[in-house]
Chain A
Amino acid sequence: MEIVVCIKQVPDTATVRFDREKGTIIREGVQSIINPSDLHALEAGLSLRDELGGKVTVITMGPPQAESALRDALSLGADEAILLSDRAFAAADTLATTYTLLKAIQKIGLPDLILCGTHAIDGDTAQVGPGLAARLGWPSITQVAGLEILDTGTRFLVKRLIEQGYEMVEVELPALLTCHKSLNRPRVPSLKAKMRARKADIPVWGHEDLGADSGKIGIKGSPTWVDSTFVPAFEAKREMLEGSPDEQVDALIVRLKESGLL
C-alpha cells in the first residue's frame, strides 16, 4: 500500500511563552516539534505498511528548518521524506496549502491512502485534510479513532468521532483520513533508524519543481487576511481581595453571599 503522511512542524506550546507587553510570542527557547496528531497519522501509516507492505512517504510544506521534522519521521520508520520549501510558499492559508500539497502528491504519484493529523496546534484550523481530499475528489473521514483493514486492504472500517459519540464508516480506497490522538500510540525511534535518518537524502521541492501555478501558492494563493489584531476588552469589576488567606477567603464568601451564590 502506498501511503502519504502530511506532517507539520509547529512550536511546542508547552515551551511557548508570551511577551505580555507586546502581545507576541517570545521566540527564544521555543522548541519545534512534529504536530502532535500528525504523529498518530504517521504511526497509522507505519503500522499499515508493516502489515500490508508498501511504502510510507512523509511530506511537509514549511521553512528549511522543517527538515528536522522530516528526519524525526524517518527515524520513526518512514521510507521517504520530501520537503516542500520555497519563499513563494510563505504565508499560505489553508487553500494555498492544500494546492501545494496536491501538486507534491501528484508529482510523487497518487497513493492509496493519505493520512493527516486532525488539526495543527498552532493555527488550529483542521481544514487542510478535508480540503486536500476535496481537491482529489476523494472521500475524507475526519477524527479517526479506530481502523480495521477489510478485504486485504482495498477497504477500511473506521471509527470516527462525532459530536455526541462516534460513527462506524466503511470506506473504499483511495481515501484521506485525519487521525485523532486516540487512534494509536506512536512508536519510539530505533537507534538504527535514527542513524539512517541522519544520513538520509531529503529532496527539497520548490514551486517550479511542482509545476505549481504561482498565483495559487503562498500569499498570492491565499484569499484570507489578518485584517487587524486587538487585545480583547472586558468589563469587569476587578476587585482584588487583600490580606491573609483567611481574610481573602472571608471577603470572597461575603461577596458570593451578597450575590446570592452561596
Chain B
Amino acid sequence: MCGSCEDICLPGAIVKEREKGPAPTDIDAYSGIWVVCEAPDGIIPAWAKELLSKAHDLAAKAGEELTAVVLGHSLGEVPKDLAAFGADRVLVVDEPSLKGFHDDIYANVLAYMARKELPSVILAASTPMGRAYIPRVATMLETGLTADCMDLDISTEDKTLLQTRPTFGGNLIATITCRKHRPQMATVRPHVFKPREPDQAARVSVINFSVPEELLASRAKVIETHVEPLEGPDITEADVVVTVGRGIGNKETLEQAMELAELLGAAVGATRPITDEGWLPDRAQIGQTGVTISPKLYIGLGVSGAVHHTVGIRGSEIIVAVNKDPEAPIFEMATYGIVGDLHEILPVLIDRIRKERAGK
C-alpha cells in the first residue's frame, strides 16, 4: 500500500489498524535471507554483488543465514563467485528452459523453491526482469511485495524487514513493512548499495536445486533477444552530470545546458517531466523511476528537488543547484546553491568555463 490515496479518499474511508490485516502466516516457520539473481545468459549482473553485500549486513544484524539464489542456464563456475560477496550458501537452478527470460517459468521456479525452503526474506533487483516476475512470485505465495526500494534495514527484535521508498505524498520517504506475512519480499533498485571488498578465500556450498518438469513450461516463447548498446557517456558512471529540470523552460535553454555538459565532458540527466515530454530519452531520467547516479559533481538546472528525483542523486559528492526559487527543496541538499534565473546564469557559466578551459 503506498498510502497515496489516504490524502485523496474521503475522510474515514481508510482506517489504519494493524489488527485488521489479513490472516497471518506462521512466521516462526520461516528463516533466512535470500538474494535472487536471474542469469538467463549465464552472466551474473553487477547489482547481484551490491545486493548480496547489503543483504550480508542485514543477515549479520538479524543473525540469519544468507542464501544467493541463481536461476539461469550455462552457469558454470559463476555461482561460486558469489561466495566472495557474503553468501553463506548458493542455491542454483540451471535449466535450458531458463535460457531466455520467461516470466512465468522464472516465477514458478522461485515460488516452488520458496515453498520448499521457507525463507523469511526474498530480495530481488528492480530491473525490468525482476519487476516482471517477482510480482508473480509474491502473488503465488500470497504475501506482500514492496517495489523498487531505495534502502533496507531489519529489526533485530522481530526480524521485520524495513523497506524504504519515496511516497507519492510529497517530499516524503515511507518505510513499508510486511509484519505478519512471510516471506517478506522487496525489489531493490540497482546501484543504491556499494559492493563489499570481495573475500576470495570464502568458500560456500553450491546446491543444485531440481524443480519438477511441469513448472518449466510456458505458452510464451522467446524467439530472439536484441541488445542495444547505449550511446554517449553512461550517466551512471560519469564523473559530472548536468541535470535539466522543468525550469529549463524552452529548447534553447536546453541547448545551452547541452553545451555546458559538453564543455565539462558531462553526461546529461533529466527529471521526469523532461523525459515525459520527450525532450530527452527515458534513460536520462534520474530518480525513483529512473537511474541512480553517484558522480563527483551534479549540477541541477531548474530542478525543484522532489524526493522522487533526489533519491537518485544522494551519492553525488558535490551538488550544485541553480533555481530561481530560494525555497526550492533542492537547496537543502546542495553543496553550493545559486538563486537565480537560468537565462541569466547559464550564459555566464558557459562563458566562464570556456575561458577556464582556454586558459589551460
* B-binding residues in A (CB < 8 A): 11, 13-14, 18-20, 22-25, 27, 63, 87, 90-95, 98, 119, 122-135, 138-143, 157, 161-172, 175, 215-216, 219-232, 234, 236-241, 245-246, 248-253, 255-257, 259, 261-262
- With A90-B5, A167-B224, A261-B240 as given contacts, are A231 and B171 in contact (CB-CB < 8 Å)? yes
Interface string of B157-168 (1 = CB under 8 A from A): 000001000011
B144 contacts A141, C-beta separation under 8 Å: no
Q: Answer yes or no: B129 CB below 8 A from chain A CBs.
A: yes
- For the complex, give the distance between the alpha carbons of A220 and B14 in Å: 11
B18 contacts A225, C-beta separation under 8 Å: yes
Question: B interface, by DSSP: helix, strand, loop or mixed?
Answer: mixed
Interface string of B327-356 (1 = CB under 8 A from A): 101011111111110001100110011001
Chain A residues with CB under 8 A of B101: 162, 167
Question: A interface, by DSSP: helix, strand, loop or mixed?
Answer: mixed
> Which 4 interchain pairs have the tightest Cβ spacing?
A223-B144, A224-B144, A123-B2, A134-B136
B178 contacts A224, C-beta separation under 8 Å: yes
- With A165-B228, A253-B356 as given contacts, are A91 and B128 in contact (CB-CB < 8 Å)? no
B22 contacts A221, C-beta separation under 8 Å: yes
A23 contacts B170, C-beta separation under 8 Å: yes
Q: Answer yes or no: B221 CB below 8 A from chain A CBs.
A: yes
B170 contacts A19, C-beta separation under 8 Å: yes
- For the complex, give the distance between the alpha carbons of A139 and B219 in Å: 7
Residue of A nearest to B219 (CB): A172
A236 contacts B319, C-beta separation under 8 Å: yes
- For the complex, give the distance between the alpha carbons of A33 and B64 in Å: 45
Q: A23-B169, A95-B139, A226-B3 are in contact. List 17 more A-B contacts (CB 8 A).
A: A23-B171, A128-B135, A130-B133, A139-B104, A143-B132, A163-B127, A164-B227, A169-B220, A175-B219, A219-B16, A223-B21, A226-B167, A231-B172, A232-B314, A249-B338, A252-B338, A257-B356
Residue of B nearest to A246 (CB): B348
B103 contacts A142, C-beta separation under 8 Å: yes
Partner of A25, one of B136, B168, B240: B168
Total number of B residues with any Cβ neighbor in A under 8 Å: 106
Shortest distance in angstroms between B113's beta carbon and chain A's nearest beta carbon?
16
B297 contacts A256, C-beta separation under 8 Å: yes
- With A130-B133, A157-B223, A252-B320 as given contacts, are A238 and B103 in contact (CB-CB < 8 Å)? no
Binds A, one of B68-76, B84-92, B145-153: B145-153
Partner of B226, one of A143, A166, A225: A166
Partner of B220, one of A90, A94, A129, A171: A171
- For the complex, give the distance between the alpha carbons of A224 and B104 in Å: 23
A169 contacts B336, C-beta separation under 8 Å: no
B170 contacts A239, C-beta separation under 8 Å: no
- For the complex, give the distance between the alpha carbons of A20 and B224 in Å: 48
Q: Answer yes or no: B243 CB below 8 A from chain A CBs.
A: no
Q: Answer yes or no: B218 CB below 8 A from chain A CBs.
A: yes
- With A143-B128, A225-B178, A226-B176 as given contacts, are A127 and B135 in contact (CB-CB < 8 Å)? yes
Partner of B128, one of A94, A161, A232: A161
